[in-house]
Amino acid sequence: MEKIVIDYIFRPFFVAIDGFKDVIGRNIQVISNYQETKQNNQRFKDKIEQLNYQLTKLEKIKNENQRLRKLLNFKERVPYQVVGASVISHSADNWSQIVTINRGQESGIKAKMAVVAEEGYLIGIIKRVTAHTSQVLLLTDQQFVTGGLVSRNASRDLGVVRGRKGSNKLLMNNLSWDADIVSEDIIVTSGLSGNLPKGLPIGEVISVSPDNYGLTQEAELNPFFDLNRLEEVLVITNFTTKTDVSLPPFNIDSLLIKGEE
For the stretch 153-175, pLDDT in tens is 999 999 999 998 888 899 999 99
* End residue of a domain, out of 49, 77, 105: 77
Whether omega for the bond prior to residue 201 falls within 30 degrees of 0, making it cis, is: no
The confidence score (pLDDT) of residue 261 equals 35
Together in a domain, 132 and 19: no
Instruction: For residues 146 and 212, state if they share a domain.
Output: yes
Please, which pLDDT band fits residue 226 given cuts at 50, 70 and 90? confident
37 and 104, same domain (yes or no): no
Residues 121 and 200 grouped into a single domain: yes
Domain boundary among 44, 77, 110: 77
Question: Same domain for 73 and 113?
Answer: no
In-domain check, residue 11? yes
- Whether residues 1 and 89 share a domain: the answer is no
Is the pLDDT assigned to residue 4 strictly greater than 80? no
Q: Does 168 fall in a domain? A: yes
Q: Say if residue 33's pLDDT is above 80.
A: no
178 occurs within a structural domain: yes
Domain, as residue range, for 66? 1-77
Cβ(233)–Cβ(121) below 8 Å: no
Looking at the fold, whether 83 and 163 belong to one and the same domain comes out as: yes
CA atoms within 13 A on the CB side of 115: 33
CA distance 96 to 27: 68
Report the pLDDT value the prediction gives residue 69, as an integer from 0 to 100: 62
Q: Is 181 inside a domain boundary? A: yes
Q: Are residues 12 and 105 in the same domain?
A: no
Q: What span, in angstroms and rounded, lies between the C-alpha atoms of 221 and 66?
A: 26
Tell me: pLDDT of 260 over 60. Answer: no
Q: Please list, in sequence order, all residues whose beta carbon lies within 8 angstroms of the beta carbon of residue 171, skipping any fewer than 6 positions away.
A: 161, 162, 163, 164, 218, 219, 220, 221
**59 and 150 belong to one structural domain:** no
Q: What is the pLDDT of residues 55-94, one digit of tens each?
A: 666 666 656 555 656 666 666 777 888 998 999 998 866 6
| pLDDT(42) > 70 | yes
Asked whether residue 58 is assigned to any structural domain, the reply reads yes
Whether 16 and 73 map to the same domain: the answer is yes
Q: Looking at residue 221, what is its pLDDT?
A: 96
Q: Are residues 163 and 185 in the same domain?
A: yes
Three-class SS state of 72: helix
Give the CATH number for residue 178: 2.40.10.340
Predicted confidence (pLDDT) per residue in 114-150, tens digit: 999 988 899 999 999 999 999 999 999 999 999 999 9
Domain boundary among 77, 103, 120: 77
Task: Calculate what percentage of the chain has a pLDDT beyond 70.
Answer: 67
| 200 shares a domain with 164 | yes
